[in-house]
Each structure stands twice: as C-alpha cells, then as structure tokens.
C-alpha cells in the first residue's frame, strides 16, 4: 500500500501502523452498506498515475547471484492489497468482442442477456511499475495490475455480476524475462470459457479483453430463477477467496514472478464482508484490511543493480519469502479474532506453515475454508489434540503445520485473544530463507529468524477498533449433494522420458498441451469421477488444478493403496495436491456453460512445460460427437509418430 | 530509438539477449564441413528450432527428424531466410560432418536452412545443458531424456519456447509461431478484424468457439 495513503490522517497512521488506512475504512463503510460518499480527493485516479515511463531493469542474470541482499526483519508493515476502484468502462462492454475498439479476440460472452449489464466493472491495466519489497532494498521493477504489487484486490458479490476489463499495457519492447502477452484466469470462477483465461488465448500489448464474472453459484440451470438474496444457482456452491493470475502458455511462471496476480473476494449473505449481525451471516471476522486480510505468499530472489534498484532474478525458487509484497513484515494485531486468506502464488514451492507462540510452542489456527469453499465444520490445526487434522497423506508434516502448495487457498482464523498484550507471535515456514540480520526482538526458543514469515505484535483492542466477533459457528455450510456419476476418467501426471505430461491411460505417450484439441469431451450437465494419479515414482509434487467447478475428494491413494481422506482434503476444493506416489478420486459436475477448460499442475514450472491438458464441455450430443472425433486427432498423430519410431527401431 | 525498425531488421539480436554467455560461441561443423560459431553464426538475431540426435539412433531421433521434415514443408518459404533448424549430434565422436551429410542425404533432409552439427563433445554437452538443463541431475545427466524436445529460439525477440516433437505437427507449428517476430499493432488489428468473421462462423456451426486464436 502506498505510504502516502494514510499520511494525511496522522492519528490513524500512528495508532495502527498502516494496518488500517482511509481506504480500508471506506471499504468497511461501503461493504457494510453504509453508503460511503467518495470525496474526489480520496480517489486514486488511474489517469493521475498515468503510464509512467518506468525504466527497464538493469539485468543481473546470468550469472544469478548466490544470495539476495541481506535485510532487517520486521521493519515494514503488513497490509492488505488495495481494494480496486469500481470503474466505469468506455467503450461499454459488449457481448461480441469489440475488435474495432481494440478488444482481443474471444468468443461471445455466454448468458449475456442474463448477466448484463454488470453491477461491478473494473478496469485493470497490466503495466510496468515499481515496488519496494523491503525498506532496505531499492525499488524493484514489476509488472502489476494498475502498476501495483500486489495487484489491487477485486471484490464481488453473489448475484451481482462483475466485468473486468484487463488491458495489456505492458511494454511493447521489453528486456525483462516476462512475456508481454497475457490471458487472465480467475481461479476458480464458474463462468464462460472466453472469460476463463485459457492458456492459448493470450493477447498482445495495446489490446484489452473483457472477462465477465457473473458471480453466481454453480447450478444456474438446475436452480434457475432468483431463489434468494444472493442470486441464481445453488447457494451451497458458495465460494469466497478467488485469485486471478496470468495463464500465458509457457510463460505463466515468468509473468507471475513479475507480479501478474491478485485476489478476488466474493461476498454473499453468509459471508457479507462485515461483522454486524445480519440475516444468514456467520459473523466471521470480515472487515477487509482491518480484520480480514489476504495473506499472499511468494518467494523471490533479488539482486542489487547498478541503478540503485533491487531487481527480481528469474528463478523458480527464491531465498526471500514475501507476504503481501513485503519481506518479513510486522503486523499489529488486537486481542481478537482475525481472518487470513492464505494464498500461495508460488511459483513452485510448497509451504508448511505453523503459528509459533511466545514460548516457542505451536499455536492453533482454525481452518474455515479450503480453496475458497467453507468447510462444513471449522477445523483447528495444532501440534496437540488437533495434530490429526493434517492435510497430507504421506509426507511427515510439521506438527501443527498447514501445508499449502501453489495455488491452494486456506482461509484461517487466528484468535489473538489467546495471547497477552505485548506478546509477539510468529508465522513460521519450514524452509529457510536468507535474512542476513538478527531479529530485533528475542525469538521464542527454537525459532530461527530464517524461518519466520512475519511477526504479529499483540496489543489490547482500542475502543475504536471493531469488537471481537462471536465464536466461530460450529457449522459453516452444508456440502451440496452430488448426483450419480455419469462417466469416469483418469488423468496421470507423469514424467516419462523426460517429458512432463498429463496422460490418459490409453495413451501410448500422452498428449502435450494442445490449445487446438480437446483431450476429453464432457456433455454439459453431467457428473464425472476423475482418478488423478501421480503414481509414477518421480519425486515431484504436483498441485493439480481443475478449472470451472469445485470437486469433492472421494478417495485418496498412496502408491495405489487407499488411505483415509485427510480432513482438510475432504471439503470442496479446486487444487488437489499430489505428492509423489499419491492419487485421488474426485467427483465434479460440469454445468451451465460449455467451452474449453484446463486441468494442469499448478507448479508453474511444470505447467509451462506442458503438464497441462485442455478438456471441453459441449452443449449437446452432436457437439459431443464432433468433439470426440476431434479428440482423436492428437492421439492419432502421436500414435503415427510412435509407430514410426517402433518401425525404425 | 524507433523500435519497430529495430524489430523488423533481420538478424539483429535483442538488446537483452544473453548472447554467447548462454548459447556459447562453440565452434561447430555442419554437414557441409563448414565451420560455424554457435551464437554468432547460428543464433544471433535469428529464429531457430534446435534438437539433439545422432545418426545411428534408432529410438526417437528418426521420428523427430521425420517430424521436422514434415514441418519444414509447411515453413519452407521462411527456411534459411529467417528460420533455421539445427540438429546437433550427441555422439560427435561417431558423427563426422561426412556421416551427418550421409544421414541428411539418405533421408532427403539436406535442405536449405537445416544444419546438422557436430563438434567437440564438451561443447555439445555444454550447449545441451544450456538449452535443456533443468537442474535435475537424474534428468540432465541422462542423454536420452531430452531426445524429443524441440527448443525454439528467437534471439531477435530474446525469447525461447519449447515443443515436444511427438505432439501433433499443428501443435509444433503453433509453438514455433508463438516465437515469431512480434507483429505491429496495426497488423494485429487487421488480423483481429478478419478473425471476427471466423468466430461468427464457428459459433453458428458449433454453438461455441472451438479454435483458439487462429
């Protein structure tokens, strides 16, 4: 969050150390329904920011430096990314692509008459920017939405459709490792395929594209009409913590390292974005940026360059762990409950998070949602009585740890009332980073500064700060009942002959990512069980992500043997973490839309290396036949090549 | 600086290209026994497809060569002008320029813009690691594992991509096209408008759009 935001309100600045800003206060007002009137001076005008000429970074790779520069822990403040301004769009969004006005090619928005005009319109410009990851560092060149890092957070509300205009204002000519083409995926929205950020649908600089996010529960056709205050669809399909990111084939990792991702939070009556009692509300901590924070994890490597800047190194794994755009930040927390929406943006590493109490023991975190979906019952995770609530089937997990692989989201609640004012609590990651300076505060016994992600400073709640929410309800939701299975299918995530790929059992080798051919055809409105297998011993973890709808895990396997589904994997999810040798039987529905979607490993290095497959939902039998005929094309060509190989061998 | 001129000028490397520090300037010999420097003569400012093979290979190499031959036909207007194929032997001790010439001739692939290259085994090993290395010992140490990858480089754009030779030819062609020199905004607008007609036809026919961006 820009430093100048709170400067003209010194009383807030001094009291809250930036954890609350004017804009957050505004957001409380707006979300709580107390219609806020924006004074013109408060608006951050995109025009005012302009397209600043930002000098391209001085390259510092190769050779990559051995380690990033040292930094001092707990200097910068933890804060939520900016809420994005609702912005009128000119020209008006249209059903068919407005190619004449510079929109990139896409299919027409499906269900346009049902969801247009959009209630929320956002204008997101992907452009070069500068961000300071740490006060000890110089500015860092990034590609951010509206030039910001992390990207501004988008908000939606169920029943109120949203439309985001993603503009590609990236430099036409770049010397960075990024690729100035983009296609933005909303992970994991239920919407048409033209708005889904399909990996082959990237568009170049100067163009823009409208993504229509209807913010509806899945099951529009089945539930129809307008059954409740939250709009159409099955309310049991409610989701909350989405994120959007670039999905450009082969360059997803590079562009995401440069910063092209952010949060998208959708509210409904059960989770309304405020803490006041209201019909159906679960009254969870819910003031964005005050008691409800995204916690976006990423690791980067940096190098200091001659220009006084500190630039990102193009590396798949970094030695600085970053939380909401800051390295080892500190956060002042009141003695009450807070909600954190953990998101691992990778690009490749898996986190094992633990909360470390002042005495060095492991604290309790309560998981309320997995991948944007509420659990039926909140699950406390700690090293004691709740050590069984792990989310891993094989690998010995850190006691009390929460394992978060790339693209997984966990909404957690931490109750800081369990601590005393003056206590310092730490969020720990199992891997080590490079810090280079000792902690300014004595650390709890056994905790190394290199493992600390961030520090919480517990203080008493001031009178003006929102009072604590009621205890977390014991029941958060009911899972929808899945209909009978219409079809079964299997995807194998394999490394064969040095090739990462997603293989069907009948494939001789397995298709590579082919944007033009579907590898699996599904009739719209049906339900399928998919066996996802990572049983070829490769030693790799594959966080498998399926676009479009949420799935339920029916069974988990370790080396082919069925094991109980871990409690934290039993809810609705869209990323299934497959550690080496693991498998999962998942079940999901394909409703309301037809088009092209993806299943892929979300380790971004793997998806860029073809561990990704297109599958299609088709509207009727005729289209299914056409799709299946098309589906053979890739396999036939592959087989012909394989046969030729056998012949000459 | 007028960037558009820079981009359309042939064989001009991108200012950020790592150049010989990544690609090396190893001295190689082609099937015509001509001496070439790997970066300066083969990569610099050019778009190319690189694969590794050896003449006596009876695994995937002949199939990959066959694939490249098929693709060559589609791209022959560009071949040797701004697009090149480089097939580098992993067994330089057996594959002399003469042996590679024989290999190319017997398979009818001794074609303009397609070079079969040999050299010092240390140099070739280095190039293989620089182009395909994934910092995974079990992966990088095994000669056979990269057999079916095609590395697509466009030094004029400082970009590189990859294709699997066993993917469909259309897929490989698309991946080569993804590394083509960037088109100007005006060109893309013209294309974009032409595509609108195709979209409407497809949507009418199938009810949704089946192709991607072509």
Q: Quick one: pLDDT band at residue A36, thresholds 50, 70, 90?
A: very low
User: CA of B36 to nearest chain A CA: how many angstroms apart?
Assistant: 24
For residues B174 and B205, state if they share a domain: no
Return the half-sphere exposure (C-beta side, CA atoms, 13 A cut-off) of residue B112: 8
- Mean of all residue pLDDT scores within chain A: 86
- Beta carbons of A105 and B185 less than 8 Å apart: no
* pLDDT tens digits along A174-224: 888 889 999 999 999 999 999 999 998 999 998 999 999 999 999 998 887
For residues B210 and B118, state if they share a domain: no
**Lowest-confidence pick of A22-36, A297-311, A524-538, B95-109:** A22-36
User: CA of A110 to nearest chain B CA: how many angstroms apart?
Assistant: 9
Q: Quick one: pLDDT band at residue A634, thresholds 50, 70, 90?
A: confident
Q: What percent of chain B has pLDDT over 70?
A: 83
User: CA of A172 to nearest chain B CA: how many angstroms apart?
Assistant: 9
Q: Which residues on chain B are in Cβ contact (under 8 Å) with A175?
A: 14-16, 158
The residue of chain B nearest to residue A515, with distances taken between CA atoms, is: B212
Residue A593 has pLDDT above 90, yes or no: yes
Domain count, chain B: 2
The residue of chain B nearest to residue A626, with distances taken between CA atoms, is: B206
**Lowest-confidence pick of A278-292, A454-468, B128-142:** B128-142
- Beta carbons of B207 and A594 less than 8 Å apart: yes
For residues B178 and B193, state if they share a domain: no
**Lowest-confidence pick of A36-50, A76-90, A511-525, B195-209:** A36-50
What confidence score (pLDDT) does residue A16 get?
38
Residue A312 has pLDDT above 60, yes or no: yes
Task: Kindly give, in sequence order, each residue whose CB lies less than 8 Å from that of residue A396, ignoring residues fewer than 6 positions away.
Answer: none
User: CA of A54 to nearest chain B CA: how many angstroms apart?
Assistant: 16
What confidence score (pLDDT) does residue B146 get?
52
CA A400/CA A397 separation, integer angstroms: 8
Q: Which residues on chain B are in Cβ contact (under 8 Å) with A638?
A: 166-168
CA A207/CA A216 separation, integer angstroms: 28
User: CA of B146 to nearest chain A CA: how many angstroms apart?
Assistant: 6
The residue of chain A nearest to residue B181, with distances taken between CA atoms, is: A173
Of A333, A269, A336, A370, nearest to A472 (Cα)? A336
- DSSP state string for A522-548: EETT-EEEEEEE--S-----EEEEE-S
Please tell me which residue, A635 or B107, carries the higher pLDDT value: B107
Q: Which residues on chain B are in Cβ contact (under 8 Å) with A104?
A: 192
Q: Are strands A575-578 and A542-546 parallel, antiparallel or unpaired?
A: antiparallel
User: CA of B166 to nearest chain A CA: how many angstroms apart?
Assistant: 6
Q: Are A233 and A216 in contact (CB under 8 A)?
A: yes
Sign of torsion, CA A35 A36 A39 A40?
negative
User: CA of B31 to nearest chain A CA: how many angstroms apart?
Assistant: 22
CA A77/CA A498 separation, integer angstroms: 44
Closest Cβ opposite residue B196 in set A99, A102, A515: A99
CA A608/CA A199 separation, integer angstroms: 10
Closest Cβ opposite residue A107 in set B60, B208, B214: B208
Q: Which residues on chain A are in Cβ contact (under 8 Å) with B66?
A: 641, 644
Query: Which CATH number does the domain housing residue B97 bear?
Result: 3.40.30.10
Cα dihedral A413, A418, A419, A421 in deg (nearest 10)? 100
- Beta carbons of B60 and A59 less than 8 Å apart: no
CA A353/CA A452 separation, integer angstroms: 10
Residue A9 has pLDDT above 60, yes or no: no
Please tell me which residue, A580 or A122, carries the higher pLDDT value: A122
Work out the angle at residue A113's Cα, subtended by the Cα atoms of residues A109 and A118, and round it to the nearest 5 degrees: 75
What confidence score (pLDDT) does residue A79 get?
95
Q: Are A148 and A129 in contact (CB under 8 A)?
A: yes
The position carrying tokens 């986190």 is A351
Q: Which residues on chain B are in Cβ contact (under 8 Å) with A105?
A: 192, 195-196, 199, 213
CA A246/CA A140 separation, integer angstroms: 20
Q: Token pair of A81, please? A: 């990314």
Q: Which domains does chain A have, with CATH numbers?
A: 487-648 (2.60.40.420)
Give φ, ψ of A618 to 5 degrees: -120, 150
Q: What percent of chain A has pLDDT over 70?
A: 87
The position carrying tokens 């031959």 is B69
* Average pLDDT, integer, range A121-147: 95
Closest Cβ opposite residue A498 in set B145, B196, B212: B145
- Beta carbons of A249 and B162 less than 8 Å apart: no
What confidence score (pLDDT) does residue A7 get?
39
- Beta carbons of A641 and B67 less than 8 Å apart: yes
User: CA of A275 to nearest chain B CA: how many angstroms apart?
Assistant: 43
For residues B62 and B45, state if they share a domain: yes
The residue of chain B nearest to residue A514, with distances taken between CA atoms, is: B171
For residues B123 and B206, state if they share a domain: no
Q: Which residues on chain B are in Cβ contact (under 8 Å) with A633?
A: 168
For residues B57 and B126, state if they share a domain: yes
Q: Token pair of A369, please? A: 């949602």
For residues B50 and B14, state if they share a domain: yes
Residue A89 has pLDDT above 70, yes or no: yes
Residue B135 has pLDDT above 90, yes or no: no
Closest Cβ opposite residue A594 in set B146, B164, B208: B208
- Beta carbons of A107 and B18 less than 8 Å apart: no
What confidence score (pLDDT) does residue B166 get?
80
Q: Which residues on chain A are in Cβ contact (under 8 Å) with B18?
A: 62
- Relative orientation angle of helices B61-75 and A621-648, to the nearest 10 degrees: 120
For residues B146 and B113, state if they share a domain: yes
* pLDDT tens digits along B3-20: 444 444 567 888 888 888
Q: Which domain holds residue B107?
A: 3-182
- Beta carbons of A644 and B66 less than 8 Å apart: yes
The residue of chain B nearest to residue A59, with distances taken between CA atoms, is: B16
Please tell me which residue, A645 or A537, carries the higher pLDDT value: A645
- Beta carbons of B206 and A626 less than 8 Å apart: yes
- Beta carbons of A516 and B171 less than 8 Å apart: yes
The residue of chain B nearest to residue A251, with distances taken between CA atoms, is: B161
Closest Cβ opposite residue A637 in set B169, B189, B200: B169
Which residue spans within A272-349 are E strands per DSSP?
292-300, 302-304, 310-312, 320-323, 326-327, 330-334, 337-344
- Beta carbons of B167 and A498 less than 8 Å apart: no
**Lowest-confidence pick of A255-264, A343-352, B6-15:** B6-15
Residue A39 has pLDDT above 50, yes or no: no
Closest Cβ opposite residue A200 in set B63, B142, B212: B212
User: CA of A237 to nearest chain B CA: how many angstroms apart?
Assistant: 25
Task: Kindly give, in sequence order, each residue whose CB lies less than 8 Å from that of residue A372, ignoring residues fewer than 6 positions away.
Answer: A188, A239, A240, A241, A242, A409, A411, A550, A574
Residue A18 has pLDDT above 70, yes or no: no
For residues B158 and B204, state if they share a domain: no
């Amino acid at each position: 969050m820009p430093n100048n935001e709170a400067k003209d309100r010194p009383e807030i600045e001094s009291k809250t150390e930036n954890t609350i800003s004017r804009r957050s206060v505004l957001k409380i007002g707006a979300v709580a329904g107390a219609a806020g009137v924006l004074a013109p001076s408060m608006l951050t005008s995109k025009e005012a920011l302009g397209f600043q000429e930002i000098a391209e970074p001085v390259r510092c790779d190769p050779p990559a430096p051995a380690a990033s520069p040292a930094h001092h822990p707990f200097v910068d403040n933890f804060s939520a990314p900016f809420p994005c301004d609702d912005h009128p769009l000119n020209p008006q969004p249209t059903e068919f692509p407005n190619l004449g006005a510079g929109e990139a090619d896409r299919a027409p928005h499906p269900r346009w008459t049902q969801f247009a005009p959009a209630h929320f319109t956002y204008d997101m410009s992907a452009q070069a920017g500068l961000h300071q990851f740490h006060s000890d560092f110089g500015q860092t060149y990034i590609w951010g939405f509206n030039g910001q890092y992390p990207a501004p957070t988008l908000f939606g509300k169920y029943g109120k459709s949203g439309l985001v205009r993603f503009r590609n204002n990236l430099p036409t000519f770049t010397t960075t490792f990024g690729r100035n083409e983009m296609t933005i995926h909303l992970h994991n929205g239920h919407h048409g395929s033209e708005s889904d950020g399909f990996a082959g649908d990237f568009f170049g600089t100067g163009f823009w594209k409208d993504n229509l996010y209807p913010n509806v529960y899945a099951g529009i056709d089945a539930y129809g009409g307008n059954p409740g205050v939250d709009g159409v669809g099955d309310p049991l399909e409610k989701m909350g913590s989405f994120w959007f990111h670039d999905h450009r084939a082969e360059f997803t990792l590079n562009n995401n390292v440069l910063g092209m991702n952010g949060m998208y939070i959708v509210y409904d009556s059960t989770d309304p974005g405020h803490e006041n009692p209201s019909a159906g509300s679960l009254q969870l901590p819910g003031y964005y940026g005050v008691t409800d924070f995204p916690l976006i994890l990423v690791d980067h490597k940096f190098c200091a360059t001659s220009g006084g800047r500190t630039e990102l190194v193009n590396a798949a794994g970094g030695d600085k762990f970053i939380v909401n755009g800051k390295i080892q930040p500190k956060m002042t927390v009141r003695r009450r409950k807070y909600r954190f929406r953990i998101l691992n943006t990778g690009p490749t590493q898996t986190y094992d998070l633990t909360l470390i109490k002042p005495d060095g023991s492991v604290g309790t975190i309560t998981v309320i949602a997995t991948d944007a979906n509420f659990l039926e019952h909140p699950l406390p995770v700690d090293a004691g009585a709740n050590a069984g609530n792990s989310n891993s089937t094989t690998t010995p997990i850190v006691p009390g740890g929460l394992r978060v692989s790339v693209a997984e989201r966990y909404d957690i609640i931490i109750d800081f009332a369990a601590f005393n004012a003056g206590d310092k609590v730490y969020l720990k990651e199992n891997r080590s980073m490079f810090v280079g300076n000792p902690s300014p505060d004595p650390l709890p016994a056994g905790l190394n500064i290199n493992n600390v992600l961030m520090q919480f400073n517990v203080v008493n709640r001031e009178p003006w700060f929102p009072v604590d929410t009621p205890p977390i309800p014991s029941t958060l939701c009911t899972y929808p009942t899945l209909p009978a299975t219409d079809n079964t299918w299997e995807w194998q995530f394999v490394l064969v002959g040095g090739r990462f790929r997603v293989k069907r059992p009948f494939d001789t080798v397995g298709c590579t990512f082919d944007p033009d051919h579907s590898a699996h055809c599904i009739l719209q409105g049906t339900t399928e069980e998919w066996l996802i297998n990572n049983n070829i011993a490769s030693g790799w973890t594959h966080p498998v992500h399926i676009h479009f709808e949420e799935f339920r895990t029916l069974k988990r396997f370790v080396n082919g043997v069925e094991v109980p589904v871990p409690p934290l994997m039993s809810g609705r999810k869209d990323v299934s973490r497959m550690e080496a040798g693991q498998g999962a039987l998942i079940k999901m529905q394909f409703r309301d839309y037809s088009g092209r979607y993806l299943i892929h490993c979300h380790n971004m290095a793997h998806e860029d290396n073809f561990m990704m497959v297109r599958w299609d939902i088709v509207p009727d039998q005729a289209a299914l036949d056409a799709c299946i005929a098309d589906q053979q094309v890739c396999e036939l060509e592959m087989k012909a090549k394989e046969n030729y190989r056998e012949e000459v061998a | 600086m007028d960037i558009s001129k820079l981009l359309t000028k042939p064989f001009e490397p991108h200012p950020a290209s790592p150049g010989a520090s990544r690609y090396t300037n190893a001295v190689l010999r082609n099937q015509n026994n001509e001496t070439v420097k790997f970066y300066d003569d083969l990569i610099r400012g050019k778009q190319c497809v690189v694969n590794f093979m050896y003449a006596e290979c009876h695994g995937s190499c002949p199939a990959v060569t066959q694939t490249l031959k098929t693709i060559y036909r589609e791209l022959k207007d560009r071949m040797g002008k701004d697009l090149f194929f480089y097939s580098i032997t992993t067994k330089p001790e057996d594959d002399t320029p003469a042996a590679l010439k024989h290999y190319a001739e017997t398979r009818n692939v001794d074609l303009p813009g397609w070079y079969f290259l040999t050299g010092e085994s240390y140099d070739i090993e280095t190039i293989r690691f620089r182009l395909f290395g994934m910092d995974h010992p079990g992966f990088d140490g095994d000669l056979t594992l990269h057999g079916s990858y095609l590395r697509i480089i466009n030094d004029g754009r400082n970009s590189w991509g990859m294709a699997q030779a066993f993917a469909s030819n259309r897929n490989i062609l698309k991946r080569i096209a993804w590394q083509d020199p960037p088109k100007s905004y005006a060109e893309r607008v013209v294309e974009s408008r032409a595509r609108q007609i195709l979209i409407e036809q497809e949507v009418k026919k199938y009810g949704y759009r089946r192709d991607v961006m072509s």
